[in-house]
Amino acid sequence: MAVMDLAVRVRRGISSGAGKRLALGLAFVSPWLLGFLMFTVYPVVSSLYYSLHRYDLLRAPVFLGLGNYIEIFTEDPTFGTVVYNTFYYVLLSAPLGVVSAFLLASLLNTEIKGRPFFRAVFFIPAIVPAIVTAMVWSFLLNVQYGAINATLRGLGLSTIPFISSPRLAKPSLILIHMWAQGNAMVIFLASLQDIPRSLYEAATVDGANAWHRFWHVTIPMCTPVILFNLIMGFIGGFQNFTLPWLLTGGGPNQATEFYALFLYRQAFNYMRMGKASALAWILFVIIVAFTVTLFKSSARWVYYAGAGE
């Protein structure tokens, strides 16, 4: 729609000042525009095409209509489990990740010495390669000789089968997610430091104690960033792949078979490109619905100071 609008304006005289500015602007953004057409628009459209076909890379695509979608929703026994696992993970990991990031940032924002040091320590888990995170945690949480269980055994306590138990595998992944919240934490820290001191002083004059100030000044002032981090958490959570792939491989007993893992297997293990594309579109719709709902709800709970900026 906006693109059509642009095309009309382009036709209407390049010689005019607006036309010249348009041409210059488009020239500057042309790398993105080309990339957008080649690596976003084309694959999104052809993904829709493939989702209506059976395609195994070897034979020509065969039109199935909604066959892939019908199979996914009514015939595939794993799909229900996968959706349950994914929602379980997303609905817990996104809010808990935000809570973890927010509390760490709040703690860092108090009057402490060595803030850069602590900030670095809390931040580093977020930038370590996922493969390393997976290797270290699989070792740490190992039932037989992982550090945690070896310590428990040394103390004469019973061991915890973190990632080898279907019941604890998802909570373990959520725990690791909460440990790697450096990006969100840093964004929170910046927004905490932006809160004007005068607001706290005014609240104190009105007799607010520390808890009141936290609840009625700090939290409302941070709601835009809470929204931002929550959305990032949801979008990332729905696409979560590398850690469960490496740490649990979807197991035990499919307890961590998340959407992205299931989709990957359909595409690259079973060569079902059509079904994988249909799955991708379903995921896309879920993510858009979630994001839009969050944005809509934000009118009720997000506070924008100086709404003009």
Partner 1 sequence: MGIAAPTSDATSGRKIRGTPVGRPGSMRSRISTVLRYLLLIILAISFFLPFYWMMSSALKNDSQVFTVPPVWIPRPAHWNNFSDAWMQYNFSLYTVNTVFRYAIPVALGATVSSAVVAYGFSRLRWPGRDALFFICLTTMMIPFQVTMVPLFIVFRGLGWLNSYRPLVIPAFFGSPYFIFMLRQFFLTIPEELADAARIDGANELAIMVRIILPLARPALVVVALFQFMGAWNDYLGPLVYINRDAMYPLALAINQLRSTLAGVGISPLAYPYLMAVSTIATLPIVIGFFFTQRTFIEGISLTGLKG
265 binding partner 1? (CB under 8 A): no
Query: Is the CB of 5 or the CB of 75 nearer to partner 1?
Result: 5
The binding track of 208-227 with respect to partner 1, each residue x by CB under 8 A or -, is -xx--xx--xx-----xx--
Query: Is the CB of 174 or the CB of 187 nearer to partner 1?
Result: 187
Strand locations in 164-298 (E): none
139 binding partner 1? (CB under 8 A): yes
Question: Cβ neighbours of residue 95 under 8 Å, at least 6 residues apart?
Answer: 230, 233
The tokens describing 162, both together, are 């973190």
| Exposure on the CB side of residue 90, measured as CA atoms within 13 A | 26
Q: Which of 60, 74, 77, 127 binds partner 1 (CB under 8 A)?
A: 127
Q: Which of 235, 294, 302, 305 binds partner 1 (CB under 8 A)?
A: 235
Show contacts with partner 1 in window 57-116 (CB under 8 A).
57, 104, 106-107, 109-112, 116
249 binding partner 1? (CB under 8 A): no
187 binding partner 1? (CB under 8 A): yes
273 binding partner 1? (CB under 8 A): yes
Q: Which of 53, 85, 90, 122 binds partner 1 (CB under 8 A)?
A: 122
295 binding partner 1? (CB under 8 A): no
Radius of gyration of the chain (CA): 25
CA-nearest of 81, 44, 49, 131 to 259 is: 81
Mark 236-275 as b/e (b = at least 16 C-beta within 10 Å).
ebbbbeebbbbbbebebebbbbbbbbbbbbbbeeeebbbb
Which amino acid is it at 253? Answer: N
Quick one: angle between helices 182-194 and 219-238, nearest 10? Answer: 160
14 binding partner 1? (CB under 8 A): no
Q: Which H or E element spans position 53?
A: strand 53-54
The binding track of 152-171 with respect to partner 1, each residue x by CB under 8 A or -, is -xxx----------------
Query: Is the CB of 40 or the CB of 253 nearer to partner 1?
Result: 40
Residue 60 DSSP class: P
297 binding partner 1? (CB under 8 A): no
